[in-house]
Amino acid sequence: MKRYFKHIGLLLLVCLCTLQAQAQFEGMRISPDAKISLITCSSGDDLYAVFGHSAVRVNDPALGLDIIFNYGTFDFNEPNFYLKFARGKLNYKLSAAYFRDFVYNYSMENRSVYEQELNLTPEQKQQYWLFLTNNYLPANRFYLYDFFFDNCATRIRDGLEATFPGQIEFNIAHFDKDYTFRNLIDLYLPPQPWGDFGIDLALGAKIDQEATPYEYMFLPNYLSKGFANATIMRDGRAVPLAGEPQPVFLQTPPQEEGFSLFTPTILFWVFFVAVLIVTILDFKNRRRTRTLDTVLFFVAGLLGIVFLLLWFATDHQATANNFNLLWGIPTHVVVAFFLGKKLLPNWIRLYMTITAVITGLLVITWWGLPQEPHAAFIPIALTLALRAEYIVWSFKEKRTLTTKAKV
């Protein structure tokens, strides 16, 4: 709760600074001694901050100007904010604030801030300044955010290329490590095992395509490396676009956390073992734990509906083609209500046979599918396959006992 109120306070401070900065630079021409820099911020503790952040600093001591242009903000007051966020229709915006306040915010979160001054002529600085201030106009500042292809980092790269068309070359072939987009974000997620699990639940095979070195720069760290290896045409010759990152604020090294048993993979393997024990006891006692089956398949079906909605009812590109639908089958929600009954309809046997086959085959063949699974999905799928097969067996057993009783 304390962290929550700290974030709210910092957000209000940024909003205030943004309002003050807006009128300050309208129609302004920067001096030849102004510096324009790429700012890169390190990962934070929260999931939304774990991938880092990029922004642009314009520092002109002659004019007393030191501001930050930030493409990673949005308006909480936008109508239907949460619905738009869920559907991928939320507009992010370019904001501007005082650089000292920006650094203060990140220092409060113990996140390092690095600066790379861009190697531009006075004329080029003025060109890029005009681009930024024009982009900041109310009619231009909003854009439809996409985490992989249109975010706080790619906006900076694309803005520079739009300002200086054909003059910037990124020499980044050495970036290529055959990473997919999922591999790239996984680099940042070891401290966030549950965040990693949630991402792998929601995002489909679209992010399992191999990224090009140019596309790596959707991540702030790779954008910083890309700028350090890029050249720009200056006075008729190619010169380095930016140098190596220089620290503005360095975080206090966080304490290393010990090994945690409370991770999705461990938890769901424990759950599978528990269900296996229940199933063995059910088999020995010739019974079926109906509550377990009802809850298990209802939750799996509910997740399937979420996967389906994220795929077809939103504009999120990354949530398409989600093979988790092969174990989170939406129709399980309906079937779950029948599983609470002692005597099952005849069609349940066929449905559960198909479920067991599909889910079982999924476990065997998953690594050959175009979507890389999270390790926790294996025990989840095994649990569903186990109970589906047991329901089929239980169905046969009940029918056999009923037939014998009649005879």
pLDDT, tens digit, for every residue of 355-384? 999 999 999 999 899 999 999 999 999 999
Residue 64: inside a domain: yes
Question: Stretch 393-398: mean pLDDT, rounded?
Answer: 75
Question: Stretch 153-172: mean pLDDT, rounded?
Answer: 97
SS3 238: strand
Question: Stretch 222-243: mean pLDDT, rounded?
Answer: 95
Q: Which amino acid, 197? A: F
Span 336-357, pLDDT tens digits? 999 999 888 999 999 999 999 9
Handedness of CA 166, 168, 173, 177 (dihedral sign): negative
168 and 54 together in one domain: yes
pLDDT of residue 1: 42
SS3 35: strand
245 and 275 together in one domain: no
Handedness of CA 255, 48, 189, 175 (dihedral sign): negative
pLDDT of residue 67: 96
Span 11-26, pLDDT tens digits? 444 444 454 445 555 6
Does residue 332 register a pLDDT over 50? Answer: yes
pTM of the model: 0.87
On the 0-12 / 13-18 / 19+ scale of CB atoms within 10 A, 70 is buried
220 and 302 together in one domain: no
Span 78-137, pLDDT tens digits? 666 555 665 666 789 999 999 999 999 999 999 999 999 999 999 999 999 999 999 999
pLDDT of residue 14: 47
Question: Stretch 214-226: mean pLDDT, rounded?
Answer: 97
pLDDT of residue 399: 55
List for the chain the helix, strand, coil content (%; round to 5).
55, 15, 30
Question: Stretch 169-180: mean pLDDT, rounded?
Answer: 94
| Domain termination site, one of 226, 249, 272 | 249
Q: Which of 1-10, 173-182, 194-203, 290-299 has the lowest mean pLDDT?
A: 1-10
Residue percentage of the chain with pLDDT more than 90: 75
Question: Stretch 232-245: mean pLDDT, rounded?
Answer: 94
Residue 197: inside a domain: no
Residue 191: inside a domain: no
Q: Who wins on pLDDT, 18 or 230?
A: 230
Residue 277: inside a domain: yes
Q: Which of 264, 270, 287 is nearest to 394 (CA)?
A: 287
Does residue 400 register a pLDDT over 70? Answer: no
223 and 342 together in one domain: no
Q: Are 153 and 167 in contact (CB under 8 A)?
A: no
Q: Which of 169, 184, 176 is nearest to 242 (CA)?
A: 169
Does residue 407 register a pLDDT over 50? Answer: no
Q: Are 317 and 148 in contact (CB under 8 A)?
A: yes
240 and 281 together in one domain: no
pLDDT of residue 367: 86
Residue 334 neighbours by CB under 8 Å, 6+ apart = 301
Q: Around Cβ 402, how many Cβ atoms within 10 Å?
A: 11
Residue 134: inside a domain: yes
pLDDT of residue 401: 42
On the 0-12 / 13-18 / 19+ scale of CB atoms within 10 A, 385 is buried
pLDDT of residue 181: 97
121 and 244 together in one domain: yes
pLDDT of residue 83: 59
pLDDT of residue 7: 47
Rounded to whole angstroms, the Cα distance separating 384 from 406 reads 33
Q: Which of 388, 181, 401 is nearest to 296 (CA)?
A: 388
Count Cα neighbours of 85 within 13 Å in the Cβ-side half-sphere.
10
Q: Which of 54-58, 272-276, 369-373 has the lowest mean pLDDT?
A: 369-373
Give Cα separations from 103 to 138, 261, 277 (angstroms).
25, 36, 54
Residue 96: inside a domain: yes
Q: Report the chain's mean pLDDT, rounded to a whole number.
A: 88
User: Domain with 78 in it: what CATH number?
Assistant: 3.90.1720
Does residue 272 register a pLDDT over 60? Answer: yes
Burial 326-340 (b: 16+ CB within 10 A, else e): bbbbbebbebbebbe
Does residue 259 register a pLDDT over 50? Answer: yes
Give the 3-state secondary structure of 53-104.
Answer: EEEEEEEEHHHCEEEEEEEEEECCCCCCHHHHHHHCCCEEEEEEEEHHHHHH
Residue percentage of the chain with pLDDT more than 70: 86
Rounded to whole angstroms, the Cα distance separating 348 from 290 reads 14
Domain count for the chain: 2
Instruction: For residue 314, give its domain range.
Output: 264-402
